[in-house]
Amino acid sequence: MLIDQFNRKINYIRVSVTDRCDFRCVYCMSEKMTFIPKNDLMSLEEIARVVRIFNGLGVEKVRITGGEPLVRRNIDWLFKTIDKENHLKELTLTTNGSQLKHKASMLKNSGVERINISLDSLDPDTFMRMTRIGKLNEVLEGIQHAKKIGFKKIKLNVVLMNNLNEHEVFNLVDFAIDSGFDISFIEEMPLGGTQFNRNETSVSNDDILNSLQNHYKLSKSNFATGGPAKYWQVNDSNTKIGLISPHSHNFCGSCNRVRISCKGELFLCLGHEEKVELLPLIKASPHDDGPIIEAIINSMRIKPESHTFDLSDSKPAVVRFMSHTGG
C-alpha cells in the first residue's frame, strides 16, 4: 500500500502512453509541437511492467492517457495485457474520440468499462478552432459507436474557454442528457505555454454551476469515480454533471493519484515538477522489480500537499504541456 507524507492512500495511477495526438487542442499543445523522440519513450512492455508493479503496491485503478493513447502503435496489446496480468477494480481510458470507431470493440473486450471522451464543442467550426485539425463528425461517429458497444459508463470532458466555446454549456449538457452520458467541465490548467492568456480565457466552474442551476433542476450527488470531480444529478435524467475545479475549489486534500509520463517519469502532482525517473531503473533491472518498487515507495515522501496554480501569472505553472504528462 502506498501512503504519502500527508497520510493519503495512493490507489490510482494515470499512465501516458504517448505525447503524440491527432489533434492540437489550443489549451493542451502549442500549434507547432516538438514531440519526444520515439526512442525515449517507454516500450509497451515497459508500461505493462510498471502497471503490474503498481498493482502489486495496492493500486486498484489505472487510467490510460496521452496525448491520444489510441494512436500508439500496437495499443491493443497493452490493453489486453494489462487486463490479463493485473487484478484491478477499474481500467479506464481518456480519449479524444477520433479512433473510437475502430477501437471501441477492442477496449470493451479488454476489460475497459468506462471511457472519458473530450468534446469541447458541437459546432464544427468551433471544434476546428479548438482542436486546430480535428473533425467533429469523426468524433461524433466514434461516440455513437462506443455507445452501441455498451460500455458501463461514458463521460464527456469539456474545457470551456472565454470567447471560444463558453456559450455552448447548455448544448453540451443537452447532448449528454439525450445520449445518457455524464459530463464534466474542467477548469483550464496552466501547463505549457500556449497562444492564449489563461487569465483571460479561463472560465470558473462557480459561474458554470450558477448558470446550470438556473437552467436545470440539479441535486447534489455523492457519486464518485475516484477522481477529483464533484457531481450534480440532473433530475429526471441519467446524467450527472461533474465539476473539476483546480482553481476555484482546490481538491488536493483527497488526492489519491500519481502520474507516469510516456518517458517513464513518475510525477507526484500534475502542477509540480517533482518527479522520479523510473525508466533508467527499468532498463537497469530487467529481471528485478526491487529497485523500482523502492523508488516508488520513496517517492511518497516528496509528493506535494497541493498544486499552486495562479492564473494571474503570465507564465505557466509548469513548462511541460499536458500531453507530456497525460490528461
Confidence of residue 168 (pLDDT cuts 50, 70, 90): very high
Angstrom CA distances, 232 to 131, 202, 216, stand at 28, 21, 11
Of 157-171, 215-229, 243-257, which one has max mean pLDDT? 157-171
Average pLDDT (253-282) is 90
Range of the domain at 65: 2-325
pLDDT for 187 beyond 50: yes
For the chain, the domain total comes to 1
DSSP annotation of 161: B
- State the pLDDT at residue 307: 61
Any idea what the CATH number is for the domain that residue 301 is in? Answer: 3.20.20.70
> Going by DSSP bridges, is the β-strand pair 9-10/2-3 parallel, antiparallel, or unpaired?
antiparallel
For residue range 223-267, what is the model confidence (pLDDT) as tens digits?
A: 877 777 889 999 999 999 999 876 555 557 678 999 999 999 999
Confidence of residue 139 (pLDDT cuts 50, 70, 90): very high
pLDDT for 316 beyond 50: no
Q: Please tell me the pTM assigned to this model.
A: 0.91
- State the pLDDT at residue 203: 82
Give the count of alpha carbons within 13 A of 31, CB side only.
6
Using alpha carbons only, what angle is made at residue 4 by residues 113 and 19, rounded to the nearest 5 degrees? Answer: 50
pLDDT for 198 beyond 70: no
